[in-house]
Amino acid sequence: MSIELQGVTKKFGDTVAVNNVSFSVREGELMALLGPSGGGKTTVLRLVAGLEMPTAGDVFIRGRRVNDLSVQQRNIGFVFQNYALFKNMNVFRNIAFGLKIKKWKRARMQARIEELLKLFGLEGLERRYPHQLSGGQRQRVAIARALAPQPSVLLLDEPFGAVDARIRQELREWLVTLHHDLNVTTVFVTHDQEEALEVANRIVIFSGGVLEQVGTPREVYDQPANEFVARFIGAMNVLEAKVREGVARIGELEFPASGEAEGQQVRVGFRPYAVQVSADLTRYRYHAVLQHTFFLGVLLRLELELPSGLTLRARMTKEDYAQQGLEDGRRVSFQIRQYRLLAGEAAALGPEAELQPETPPVLGDYI
């Protein structure tokens, strides 16, 4: 294990920022700490770095308990949200800072810096000052500076937060490539679930200082541990339904819910991609009006209004949409392939249920 937290709690006065958190990061992993702002993820990163000291619990780096080690002794590389480049030093001296402190020999230092400049595409910018660099260049300098003294782990706080959306995507891909090439254990903090899903090998999800789930992007998406995770990772339709005769009903929609008590109020969740939409009204069981289409790129988001007044979100590819000749205001038929009965926020979730395709109703028949 490269990094391990055991029952770590951090309090600031009366507020508990991190509450009894345990997880570990494997050697060479690219791990995301994900959660809404105020979830405690940055505090966890700072606890690993030694910029904060835990109120309770232990932090290990490469098997060694580091609670009593100062930030200088932990041999970590830290990249701050706004990069925190030394404004009075040029690119070369920024990267050289850690090496000078560690008293590297001149020739070795020169070689290391040249290697990093090349790796990070910063050649020719050595003499520039931070204010003469673009956002992306600043970020690369910050990472090069953190990596220069060959730290055992690289920690990044919201690495893509301070750049504009256009280069964010580029930087994400670049970080994945860099991690692949260097194979340094890397932990980064983000509030953007899409970013975590795309970049990380594994994700730790926090909310309110509590660890909600640890898993691969696939695991947290397909098998969310609880309702918070289910709703935080990816979009989800959530409906309040009432159980009658073993079926959760809301408006015209029905979801088999065997095992739930008669008259019980339940919440039903399903992902937009689980909603299949067809222009052919005889194709699927339910009918709706396509209210609005949001163009998100290759995927489109559809808003459906049911006769009962319910609105649902669906996903569809651009080609499928064009092929079917869909447009706003059209009547469509749809079905929900997979759904999940949601318990309370903290309770564990059962597996996703598959719905058998049902015979479509007679045209014009709504239920």
Between residues 103 and 218, which has the closer beta carbon with respect to other proteins?
103
* Sign of the dihedral through C-alpha 127, 128, 134, 140: positive
Structure tokens at 222: 């397909």
Between residues 123 and 170, which has the closer beta carbon with respect to other proteins?
123
Supply the minimum distance, in Å, between the C-beta of residue 52 and other proteins: 11
d(CA 208, CA 44): 12
**Cβ neighbours of residue 79 closer than 8 Å, sequence gap 6 or more:** 139, 142, 143, 146, 154, 155, 156, 157, 159
Structure tokens at 154: 């690289």
In angstroms and rounded to an integer, the radius of gyration of the C-alpha atoms of the chain is 25
Supply the minimum distance, in Å, between the C-beta of residue 344 and other proteins: 37
Structure tokens at 163: 């750049």
Supply the minimum distance, in Å, between the C-beta of residue 84 and other proteins: 4
Supply the minimum distance, in Å, between the C-beta of residue 131 and other proteins: 9
Supply the minimum distance, in Å, between the C-beta of residue 170 and other proteins: 22
Between residues 12 and 295, which has the closer beta carbon with respect to other proteins?
12
Between residues 82 and 323, which has the closer beta carbon with respect to other proteins?
82
Between residues 83 and 255, which has the closer beta carbon with respect to other proteins?
83
**Cβ neighbours of residue 110 closer than 8 Å, sequence gap 6 or more:** none
Supply the minimum distance, in Å, between the C-beta of residue 11 and other proteins: 16
Write out the residues near other proteins by the rule CB under 8 A: 49, 51, 71-72, 76-78, 80, 82, 84-90, 97-98, 101-102, 124-125, 127-129, 132, 145-146, 149
Residue type, 154: L
202-238: b or e for each residue (b if 16 or more CB lie within 10 Å)? Answer: bbbbbbebbbbbbbebeebbeebbbbbbbebbbebbe
Compute CA 17 distance to the chain's CA centroid, rounded to the nearest angstrom. 20
Supply the minimum distance, in Å, between the C-beta of residue 96 and other proteins: 10
d(CA 137, CA 64): 34
Supply the minimum distance, in Å, between the C-beta of residue 128 and other proteins: 4
Which residue's structure tokens are 């050289």?
Answer: 96
* Helix (H) or strand (E) segment spanning residue 255: strand 253-256
Q: How far is the CA of 53 from the CAs of 22, 71, 153, 154, in angstroms? A: 15, 10, 18, 18
Q: How far is the CA of 30 from the CAs of 26, 53, 266, in angstroms? A: 9, 24, 37
